[in-house]
Amino acid sequence: MRPSNAGNLSLTRPLTAEQAWRVTSERAARCLLFFDFDGTLAPVMDDPTAVQPAPHVLTAIDALAGVVQRIAIVSARPVEFLREQFSSVPHVDLYGLYGLEHSHDAGPTVTEPMALPWVRPMAELADRARAELPPGTLVEYKRLSVALHYRTAPETSAVIEAWGAAQAERLGLRVQAGRMVVELKPPVDRDKGMVIGEAVKSAGCAWYFGDDVSDIKAFTALRAREQADPEFFGVCVAVANPETGQEVSSAADITIESPEALGDFLTSAVRALT
Ligand SMILES: O=P(O)(O)OC[C@H]1O[C@H](O[C@H]2O[C@H](CO)[C@@H](O)[C@H](O)[C@H]2O)[C@H](O)[C@@H](O)[C@@H]1O
């Protein structure tokens, strides 16, 4: 088991949630909580526009925001989408499109300048996808990326993946696989791991909650911070699912059954920290 330096506590992995919250409570004022959105805070649905945070999630995040140093959402969704979802908790930081956009304290959305030339090519790509991909493909245009969903037509996955790879080659884009989705992104160095690596530089503790393969980079960033500073306490939490759950869970310290169970878990955390 990997030993973990947690200040005056000597912990080994695997950690229990109780142990992890106890250590966190001792350094809450220097602790950051990061959450992925889809599949983590919000249950997965066929229609990406219909999703909402699971019960108790917003109430718990609001309460936790008063206890820890900062809370941030780190998502592949655009910041404007996240802003609507989290309008009742305006003090959370929002990182959208894998960090190509961000907003702090309900402030304006800031876009990574290197990504801006890609707005038009992405709009054209979304139009092309709608014209060329099989019926049943859901094309989600996100200003700086295009997600090609096959959740409701899984038999089209091979065609969609091949089409996405060909477009990435043609335009010099990056491909991000996800849960029943292929996403095409600009060739700009920004991912969830980079967001977390920068955000935790001066933190004493951080938790990251995620469900998808793109979240593993965030876990890796927490592990790297812990390696560099034995005083830092990092906790990686997976949210289970039948698609990427195994891979994400095997990289995590703790696995939670579902977004709904995460709502309850966070509610317990409020009690543990206050
Ligand atoms: O980084 P995230 O916040 O986890 O965003 C990842 C993708 O989430 C959304 O797609 C996923 O959720 C949809 C709604 O439940 C579901 O229909 C789809 O199958 C999932 O892949 C979002 O629509 C994508 O843009 C994000 O890349």
Q: What is the pLDDT of residues 11-24, one digit of tens each?
A: 667 789 999 999 99
Distance from C-alpha of 248 to C-alpha of 213, rounded to nearest angstrom:
6
Residues 74 and 104 placed together within one structural domain of the fold: yes
Task: Indicate if ligand 1 lies below 6 Å from the C-beta of 45.
Answer: yes
| Torsion angles phi and psi, residue 81, rounded to 5 | -65, -45
Q: 57 and 35, same structural domain?
A: yes
User: Are residues 55 and 101 both part of a single domain?
Assistant: yes
104 and 35 co-located in one domain: yes
Q: Is the CB of 212 under 6 A from ligand 1?
A: yes
**CA of residue 47 to ligand 1 center, whole Å:** 9
pLDDT in tens, 27-52: 999 999 999 999 999 999 999 999 99
Residue 232 shares a structural domain with residue 106: yes
134, part of any domain: yes
Q: Among 36, 38, 45, 83, which residue has the most ligand 1 atoms within 8 Å of its CB, making it the best to mutate?
A: 38
CA of 274 to the centre of ligand 1 (A): 33
In a domain, residue 84? The reply is yes
C-beta separation of 144 from 184 below 8 A: no
Asked if 140 and 93 sit in the same domain, the reply is: no
> Could you give the CA distance from residue 5 to residue 273 in angstroms, rounded to a whole number?
20
Q: Look up the domain containing 161 and give its range.
A: 114-185
Q: What is the CATH number of the domain that holds 89?
A: 3.40.50.1000
Are residue 105 and residue 31 in the same domain, yes or no? yes
- For ligand 1, the distance from its centroid to the CA atom of residue 271, given in whole angstroms, is 30
- Report how many domains make up the chain: 2
- Per-residue pLDDT tens for 188-216? 999 999 999 999 999 999 999 999 999 99
CA-nearest residue for atom 26, ligand 1, is 76
Decide if 210 is inside a domain.
no
pLDDT band at 228 (very low <50, low <70, confident <90, very high): very high
- Average confidence (pLDDT) over 235-252: 96
Domain harbouring 141, CATH code: 3.30.70.1020
Tell me which residue has its CA closest to atom 8 in ligand 1. Answer: 38
Give the chain as a 3 state SS string. Answer: CCEEEECCEEEECCCCHHHHHHHHHHCHHHEEEEECCECCCECCCCCHHHCCCCCCHHHHHHHHHCCCCEEEEECCCCHHHHHHHCCCCCCCEEEEHHHCEEECCCCCCEECHHHHHHHHHHHHHHHHHHHHCCCCCEEEECCCCEEEECCCCHHHHHHHHHHHHHHHHHHCCEEEEECCEEEEECCCCCCHHHHHHHHCCCCCEEEEEECCHHHHHHHHHHHHHHHHCCCCEEEEEEECCCCCHHHHHHCCCEEECCHHHHHHHHHHHHHHHC
Residue 38 is assigned to a structural domain of this protein: yes
Q: Is 77 in the pocket of ligand 1 (CB under 6 A)?
A: yes
Q: Which of 19, 86, 23 is nearest to 57 (CA)?
A: 86
User: Residue 149 Cα, ligand 1 centroid: separation in angstroms?
Assistant: 9
Which region holds residue 172: left if phi is over 0, alpha if psi is between -120 and 50, else beta?
A: left
Q: Which atom of ligand 1 is nearest to the CA of 212?
A: 4
- Whether ligand 1 lies within 6 angstroms of the CB of 245 is answered as no
Percent of the chain with pLDDT over 70: 96
Residue 262 lies in a domain: no
User: Does residue 69 carry a pLDDT above 70?
Assistant: yes
Residue 61 and residue 39 share a domain: yes
User: Using a 6 Å cutoff on CB, does residue 191 contact ligand 1?
Assistant: no
122 and 97 within one domain: no
131 domain-assigned: yes
Q: Quick check: 115 pLDDT over 70?
A: yes
In which band, very low, low, confident or very high, does the pLDDT at 8 lie, cut at 50, 70 and 90? very low
CB atoms under 10 Å from CB of 17, counted, come to 16
**Is 215 domain-assigned?**
no
Do 196 and 92 lie in a common domain? yes
**158-186 per-residue burial string, b: 16 or more CB within 10 A, e: under 16:** ebbeebbeebbeeeebbebebbbbbbbbb
Residue 209 identity (one-letter amino acid): F
d(CA 199, CA 71): 11
Work out the percent of the chain whose per-residue pLDDT is above 90: 94
Residue 94 near ligand 1, beta carbon < 6 Å = no
Please report whether residue 74 resides in a domain. Answer: yes
Q: Whose CA is nearest to atom 21 of ligand 1?
A: 179
How far lies 167's CA from each of 83, 130, 163, 170, in Å?
30, 13, 6, 5
Same domain, 75 and 101: yes
Task: Give the span between the Cα atoms of 39 and 79, in whole angstroms.
Answer: 17
User: Could you tell me the distance, in angstroms and rounded to a whole number, from the CA of residue 240 to the centre of ligand 1?
Assistant: 15
State in Å: Cα 96 to ligand 1 middle: 12
Task: Kindly state whether residues 32 and 167 are assigned to the same domain.
Answer: no
pLDDT tens-digit profile of 130-187?
Answer: 999 999 999 999 999 999 999 999 999 999 999 999 999 999 999 999 999 999 999 9
